[in-house]
Structure 1
Amino acid sequence: MTWYSVMGIISSAALLCPIIAILALRLGKYRTFPVLICYYSSVLIYNLMTEGYIPIDQTTRHYWGLANNLMDAPLMLFFLTYFSTSPVFTRRVKWLIAAFIFFEIVVISVLGLNTEAITVILGPGVALILALCTYFFIRQTKIAITHRKATGKAVIAASLLFAYGCFGLIYLMYYVFRSTDVEDIFLIFFLVSTLSSLMLSVGIYIEEKRIRKLNELRVTRRELSDIYAGEKKAVPIRRTALLDFDRDQWN
């Protein structure tokens, strides 16, 4: 068994980790985590196809790869709305997704569904995601260091920043400079996928603890509101020390 085959198996197992983490921690229906399941499932299936673990003809595998690349930016941009700082920011990202899908349609209409079209589409997609990941990584790292909160989000953002930073280099080598060392490029892809997926899984695990704590606080707030409903309080419930926490610390 070659290094290529070994890394293919390891990366496939690593790509499965975020999916298992989301489902095991019951985040499968939480906000944009379902999108992340779709994203990693698609990449995992393509990985298994290229390694021959899913027996399929070359044409189907080729078009699955093209579809996988087309879905990459829209799915990841949609997941990144999880880090959104406001409803306005979320709307802007969704408009950006719509504009990018329109861009994909125009490119495919002109060039057809082929590698040339993917080359034109992937570059801006990776650049957009990399820019957003950089912004969210800096923001979440500041919050994690300053307030000791939302460490999971910082780790998730770090994993995606690392992944797309490396994917940008792979894009340049494979699609732009047309490197002939295809096997070496795939080895880099497998390694990056493995490390980023494992880091992402750790971030999801940490983030679930924060989500659970926030849910417990919301339940406590509702229970206290029910208990004191109709009673006059010298200090309103919403402004007690227990409940009036700084929301930004939890983002």
Structure 2
Amino acid sequence: MTWNTIMGFISSFALFIPIAIILLLKLGSYRSFAALLIYYSSVIIFNLMSEGYIPTDRAITYYWGVTNNMLDVPLMLTFLTYFSPSKKYTQRMKILGVAFVLFELTVMIITRFTVNGLTIILGPGLIIISGFCLHFFIRYATMAIEHGKATGKAFITGSMLFAYGCFSILYVLYYIRKTEQTEEAYLIFFIATSISALLMSTGLIIEWKRIKKIKELKITRKELSEMYKDTNMAAPKRTAIVNLDFDKEAWN
């Protein structure tokens, strides 16, 4: 058994942890986390195919990998809308996502789904996602350090920034310089994926606690509103404590 095989299995297990957290804590009921769930599931399947744990035809593995790469940007942009500071910013991210999908389809149809097509679309995609991750990480890491809040978001964006930083290095080595050391490239990918998944898992748990607290405060606010509605007493004014944000809507 090679190091690649071992790390391929470990990275698949590591990726399963955030998936389990999303499912167990019911974060998948929110659009942004559902996108992350789909992304991680797709990567796990590709890892298991690549290392032979899921026996498939080589062509199937290749096209699964192509599809995986094409879904990367739209899924990650959808997830990153969770960190958007405003509705207008979110709208711009969605427009960018649609535009990038059209760009991907155009390039891949012209190049007939070859490696050359992937080389063209992966570069801009890595720049876009890395840029958003860096922006959001700086924003929420600053908030976590200065105000002791948004720690979960800082962990999540930090995990993604680390992952896409490593993926960018692999892109240069594998697609630009066309290194023949593919085994080493896969090993770096598996290690980066494992570390990123563990950081992501930590961030998801912290963020879930924040969401739970905000939901409890919303219920309290609603109960207070109902209680004062049938009396002549004025309802207490909203304070900064109960007026916390939970900025993403559920599917329903």
Q: What's the TM-score once normalised by structure 1's chain length?
A: 0.94
Q: Which moved more, 1:20-29 or 1:220-229?
A: 20-29
Q: Distance in 2 between matches of 1:241 and 1:70?
A: 42
Question: Are residues 241 and 83 of structure 1, via their aligned partners in 2, closer, same or farther at CA, if it must alter by over 3 Å?
Answer: closer
Runs of 4+ with deviation above 6 angstroms: none
Which residue pairs with 2:236 in the alignment? Answer: 237
Structure 1 position 92 matched with structure 2 position 96: no
Question: Are residues 229 and 240 of structure 1, via their aligned partners in 2, closer, same or farther at CA, if it must alter by over 3 Å?
Answer: farther
Which residue pairs with 1:211 in the alignment? Answer: 211
Q: Distance in 2 between matches of 1:41 and 1:208?
A: 20
Contact 1:237 1:243 in 2 (8 A): no
Q: What's the TM-score once normalised by structure 2's chain length?
A: 0.94
1:128-163: CA deviations, max 9, x gaps? 000000000011111112221121111000000000
Q: Distance in 1 between matches of 2:215 and 2:31?
A: 14
Q: Distance in 1 between matches of 2:75 and 2:42?
A: 11
Counterpart residue identity of residue 173, structure 1: L
Which residue pairs with 2:249 in the alignment? Answer: none
* Aligned Cα root-mean-square deviation (Å): 1.5
Counterpart residue identity of residue 146, structure 1: E
Q: Which moved more, 1:81-90 or 1:109-118?
A: 109-118
Q: Distance in 2 between matches of 1:7 and 1:168?
A: 20
Structure 1 position 55 matched with structure 2 position 85: no
Q: Distance in 1 between matches of 2:91 and 2:151?
A: 25
SS at 1:32 equivalent: helix
Q: Cα offset for 1:69?
A: 0.6
Q: Cα offset for 1:239?
A: 2.8
Counterpart residue identity of residue 103, structure 1: F
State how 1:156-235 maps to structure 2 within 5 Å: 156-233=156-233
Q: Distance in 1 between matches of 2:61 and 2:240?
A: 57
Counterpart residue identity of residue 61, structure 1: T
Unpaired runs of 5+ in structure 2?
A: 247-252
Q: Distance in 2 between matches of 1:37 and 1:243?
A: 30
Which residue pairs with 1:150 in the alignment? Answer: 150
Q: Number of paired residues?
A: 246
Unpaired runs of 5+ in structure 1?
A: none
Question: Are residues 74 and 240 of structure 1, via their aligned partners in 2, closer, same or farther at CA, if it must alter by over 3 Å?
Answer: closer
Question: Are residues 237 and 31 of structure 1, via their aligned partners in 2, closer, same or farther at CA, if it must alter by over 3 Å?
Answer: farther
Which residue pairs with 2:113 in the alignment? Answer: 113
The share of aligned pairs that are identical, in percent, is 50
Which residue pairs with 1:81 in the alignment? Answer: 81
1:31-61: CA deviations, max 9, x gaps? 4111111000000000000010111001111
Contact 1:74 1:97 in 2 (8 A): yes
Q: Distance in 2 between matches of 1:116 and 1:23?
A: 37
Question: Are residues 244 and 203 of structure 1, via their aligned partners in 2, closer, same or farther at CA, if it must alter by over 3 Å?
Answer: closer
Counterpart residue identity of residue 242, structure 2: L
